[in-house]
A and B are shown apart, each in its own frame.
Chain A
Amino acid sequence: MAPVATTFFFYLQAGIAVVSGILVITRRNPVHSALALILGLLAQAGLYLMLYAPFVAGVQIILYAGGIMVLFLFVIMLVNLERAKKEEQFNKQWLVGTAAAAALGFLFVTVYLKGNALWPQSIPQPVESSNTQEVGTLLYGQYMFAFEIASLLLLVAIIGAVVMAKKRI
């Protein structure tokens, strides 16, 4: 049961993620782009589950799909984008930009082909049931300082966003 299902679900979720990425960058209507991005994020949560990372998958669904994308949709609704939908969508240097991105992709392909021998091919099967406990131990143990800095960063971001979006300070 397991091997066939793994390949099938991997290609399904990878396909959904890549297709939704293409939809994000090509839609005229920003709300459609946001919906495509939500679909891509959910497919990516599925990929995290396949990589034996259930906690990161849960965090991705709660924070990214259920938090950040709600923020995006809020702002899209508040900002009147009717006029922008009828304008030209791609800027003047789209050809140069795409060529640069293609060159970057070439670089990635080269690195992967040459570096394929570097990492171990046999993967140790991690225990999935204690993943959350171990991530928690790491987060509150070794990375405690980074954790506190991240909370401070979030506080600064909240204050900054409130100040930027207020009408009169």
Chain B
Amino acid sequence: MVPITTLHYLVVAAALFILGVIGVLTRRNVVIILMSIELILNAVNLNLVAFSRIWGLHGQVFAIFVITDAAAEAAVGLGILIAFFRNKETVNVDEVDLLKW
């Protein structure tokens, strides 16, 4: 079999990234959109760590920072979700159209 090179990991990361983008663009449920964003961040992390094998440990340090920031962003996003759900009783982003013409 073909030995596993960096390109294999990049392809997996790209697939996860595309799946995350599809999730963000096509789903109505806010929680699933937030989880798709986590998928995107994970794909980026995989990319960083795959390259850090060749070019030094800076990629892994950056990946740790990305995980930390993903935690912060998930916390704030879910806080917004709770506040919004309390106001409008729905979790669909289609129905967030109070300011629409």
Residues of A within 8 A of B (CB): 3-4, 6-7, 10, 14, 17-18, 21-22, 24-25, 27, 30, 33-34, 37, 40-41, 44, 47-48, 50-53, 55-56, 59-60, 63-64, 67-68, 71-72, 75-76, 78-79, 81, 83-84, 87-94, 96-98, 100-102, 104-105, 108-109, 112, 116, 119-121, 123-124, 126, 131, 134-135, 138-139, 143, 146, 150, 153-154, 156-158, 160-165, 167
Contact = CB atoms under 8 A, between A and B. Distances in A.
For the complex of A and B, 10 pairs with smallest distance between CB atoms: A97-B25, A164-B79, A157-B72, A25-B23, A161-B79, A21-B19, A94-B26, A161-B75, A108-B14, A14-B12
B29 A75 contact: no
Interface in B62-101: 63-65, 67-76, 78-83, 85-86, 90-94
B19 A25 contact: yes
Nearest to A97: B25
A83 B95 CA distance: 14
Contacts of B17: 104, 108
A82 to B, nearest CB: 11
A8 to B, nearest CB: 9
A88 B12 CA distance: 30
B35 A72 contact: yes
Contacts of B36: 24-25
A116 B83 CA distance: 47
B47 to A, nearest CB: 11
Contact of B28 (A64, A90, A119): A90
